């Protein structure tokens, strides 16, 4: 493999991005922006060495993982690149790629065309066409066909770009490395840029990068259905963890809370973990008369152990008796408390069957539920 070094410049202050930390040390999807850039650059497996240019007092740099060679940058990007090039002087690579630490989406698709371009040119830069119409500040149309948005990494024959930088005045501040190379008369090529490869520059860019770097999540909905027999009794009637004032009770091995059972089954369905009877068999005496909130709490824990987070519950109770409306707020509170859901994500509805069927004759209560979970893809 051609001896190829990568210089990551990360000594800027990120003033346009705002915030307390320089932007390259701010957390994005669980790790610092600069750590994403370093990791993605390493994963290309196309560089023999990585030189990381950081500011002298940026103590956050000490926490970055990896075996990049650390170099102290300067007051301008040009000075920082110069420091990176100087660090390679003793053992010069054939090629050097210079990349902004603030562009975390570096990948092989960007780099391979640059490598190819260096077989015929001294330097190369990824570039994008412009989609919007362009105007100058007095509305004069500007011909966009001649313009490009250029990105990094910018790739060079090391000896030639080093000589080009050495020829600059000590206090020079160039637009970028291609500008330095052009000034020195190097031959240059454009290669395909990528919309993904944007530079984190403005405050809104963090949310964009976070969405692109966060693990993808699947949303899965499970359904649950349950019926229990309704009988006249002095025993309590439990629905959704709330005791209902009623001359009836629901009959079952546990407290027969048909609402909590339907939600439990829906959640078990969402994580494909069988049904409530598998986890709490009616044949097992320990569940006799058990309060059903423990069944639902168990399903919530199981979901968490399977990497799933419950996001929403929608329950419909089908009965002629009791009237659900007076108890609905208390039921939603109880289900929210058991599941840890915010109240706004717990829906409890009720319907009759217009006196038809077993629910219409007050022989039983049915309940059906949907439970929605989010899980890492």
Ligand X SMILES: C[C@](O)(CO)[C@H](O)COP(=O)(O)O
Ligand Y SMILES: Nc1ccn([C@@H]2O[C@H](COP(=O)(O)OP(=O)(O)OP(=O)(O)O)[C@@H](O)[C@H]2O)c(=O)n1
Among 27, 65, 75, 305, binds ligand Y (CB under 6 A): 75
Which candidate, 81, 95, 301, 85, places its Cα nearest to that of 175? 81
Rg (CA), the chain: 32
Rounded to the nearest 10 degrees, how much is the dihedral formed by the CA atoms of 52, 55, 59, 64?
Answer: -20
Nearer to ligand Y, 144 or 208 (CB): 208
Q: Per the annotation, does 352 bind a ligand?
A: yes
Query: Contact 355/319 with Cβ under 8 angstroms?
Result: no
**What is the distance between the alpha carbons of residues 169 and 160, in angstroms, rounded to a whole number?**
17
Give 6's strand partners: 50, 97
Residue 374 burial by CB count (10 A; 0-12/13-18/19+): exposed, middle or buried? middle
Task: Using the Cα atoms of residue 277, residue 279, residue 281 and residue 286 in order, give the sign of their dihedral.
Answer: negative
Q: Which does 24 bind (CB under 5 to 8 A by kind): ligand Y, ligand X, none?
A: ligand Y
Binding status of residue 24 toward ligand X by CB under 6 A = no
Positions 74 through 133 that interact with ligand X (CB under 6 A): 77, 100
Binding status of residue 150 toward ligand X by CB under 6 A = yes
Q: Per the annotation, does 253 bind a ligand?
A: yes
Nearer to ligand Y, 23 or 162 (CB): 23
Nearer to ligand X, 97 or 238 (CB): 97
We find the least distance from the C-beta atom of residue 304 to ligand X, in angstroms, to be 42
Among 182, 199, 328, 362, binds ligand Y (CB under 6 A): 199
Rounded to the nearest 10 degrees, how much is the dihedral formed by the CA atoms of 364, 293, 345, 376?
Answer: -120
Only one of the segments 144-152, 205-213, 263-271, 365-373 lies at the binding site for ligand X (rule: CB under 6 A); that segment is 144-152
Judged by CB under 6 A, how many residues of this single chain contact ligand Y?
Answer: 22
Print the binding letters for residues 173-212 with ligand X: x by CB under 6 A, - otherwise: --xx----------------------x-------------
Q: Per the annotation, does 226 bind a ligand?
A: yes
Phi-psi category of 66—alpha, beta or left, where left has phi over 0 and alpha has psi -120 to 50?
A: left
Strand duo 69-72 + 49-54: pairing: parallel
Positions 41 through 60 that interact with ligand Y (CB under 6 A): 53
Nearer to ligand Y, 73 or 241 (CB): 73
Only one of the segments 67-75, 220-228, 245-253, 350-358 lies at the binding site for ligand Y (rule: CB under 6 A); that segment is 67-75
Binding status of residue 153 toward ligand Y by CB under 6 A = no
**What is the distance between the alpha carbons of residues 43 and 218, in angstroms, rounded to a whole number?**
26
Q: Which does 101 bind (CB under 5 to 8 A by kind): ligand X, ligand Y, none?
A: ligand Y
Residue 102 burial by CB count (10 A; 0-12/13-18/19+): exposed, middle or buried? buried
Q: Per the annotation, does 275 bind a ligand?
A: yes
Binding status of residue 14 toward ligand Y by CB under 6 A = yes
Task: Using the Cα atoms of residue 274, residue 278, residue 282 and residue 287 in order, give the sign of their dihedral.
Answer: negative
Q: Which does 75 bind (CB under 5 to 8 A by kind): ligand X, ligand Y, none?
A: ligand Y
Among 152, 191, 316, 359, binds ligand X (CB under 6 A): 152
Q: Which does 336 bind (CB under 5 to 8 A by kind): ligand Y, ligand X, none?
A: none
Task: Using the Cα atoms of residue 209, residue 211, residue 214 and residue 215 in order, give the sign of their dihedral.
Answer: negative
- In what helix (H) or strand (E) does residue 213 lie, and over which residues does it extend? helix 205-213
Q: Which does 9 bind (CB under 5 to 8 A by kind): ligand X, ligand Y, none?
A: ligand Y
Binding status of residue 10 toward ligand Y by CB under 6 A = yes
Binding status of residue 9 toward ligand Y by CB under 6 A = yes
Residue 171's alpha-carbon distances to 47, 77, 79, 165, 190, in angstroms, are 30, 11, 8, 11, 28
- 335 contacts: CB under 8 Å, gap ≥ 6: 240, 241, 259, 260, 263, 296, 313, 315, 341, 346, 348
Among 5, 7, 11, 271, binds ligand Y (CB under 6 A): 11
Q: Per the annotation, does 276 bind a ligand?
A: yes
User: Is 118 strand, coil or helix?
Assistant: coil
Interface residue list for ligand Y (CB under 6 A): 9-17, 24, 53, 73-77, 80, 100-102, 199, 201
Instruction: Provide the annotated binding site.
Output: 226-228, 253-254, 261, 275-277, 351-354, 358, 361
Residues of the shown chain interacting with ligand X in the complex, contacts defined by CB under 6 A: 77, 100, 150-152, 175-176, 199
């Amino acid at each position: 493999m051609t001896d190829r070094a990568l210089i990551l410049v990360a000594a800027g202050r990120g003033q346009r991005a705002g915030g307390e930390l320089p932007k390259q040390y701010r957390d994005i999807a669980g790790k610092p922006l600069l750590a994403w850039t370093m990791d993605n650059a390493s994963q290309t497996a196309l560089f023999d060495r990585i030189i990381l240019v950081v500011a002298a007092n940026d103590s956050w740099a000490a926490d970055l993982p990896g075996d990049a060679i650390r170099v102290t940058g300067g007051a301008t990007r040009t000075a920082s690149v110069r420091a990176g090039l100087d660090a390679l002087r003793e053992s010069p690579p054939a090629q050097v790629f210079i990349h902004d630490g603030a562009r975390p989406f570096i990948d092989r698709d960007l780099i391979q065309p640059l490598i190819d371009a260096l077989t015929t040119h001294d330097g190369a830069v990824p570039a994008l066409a412009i989609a919007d119409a362009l105007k100058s500040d007095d509305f004069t149309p500007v011909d966009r066909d001649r313009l490009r948005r250029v990105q990094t990494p910018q790739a060079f024959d090391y000896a030639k770009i080093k000589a080009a930088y050495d020829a600059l005045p000590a206090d020079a501040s160039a637009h970028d490395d291609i500008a330095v190379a052009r000034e020195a008369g190097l031959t240059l090529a454009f290669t395909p840029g990528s919309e993904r490869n944007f530079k984190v520059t403005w405050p809104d860019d963090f949310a964009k990068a976070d969405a692109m770097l966060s693990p993808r999540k699947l949303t899965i909905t499970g359904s649950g259905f349950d019926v229990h027999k309704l009988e006249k009794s002095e025993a309590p009637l439990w629905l959704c963890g709330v005791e209902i004032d009623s001359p009836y009770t629901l009959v079952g091995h546990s407290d027969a809370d048909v609402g909590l059972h339907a939600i439990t089954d829906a959640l078990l369905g969402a994580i494909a973990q069988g049904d409530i009877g598998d986890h709490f068999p009616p044949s097992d005496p320990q569940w006799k008369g058990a309060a059903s909130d423990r069944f639902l709490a168990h399903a919530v824990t199981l979901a968490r152990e399977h990497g799933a987070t419950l996001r929403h519950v929608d329950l419909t109770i089908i009965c002629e008796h009791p009237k659900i409306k007076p108890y609905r707020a208390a039921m939603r509170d109880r289900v929210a408390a058991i599941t840890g859901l915010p109240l706004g994500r717990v829906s409890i509805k009720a319907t009759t069957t217009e006196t038809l069927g077993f629910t219409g004759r007050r022989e039983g209560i049915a309940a059906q539920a949907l439970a929605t979970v989010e899980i890492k893809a």
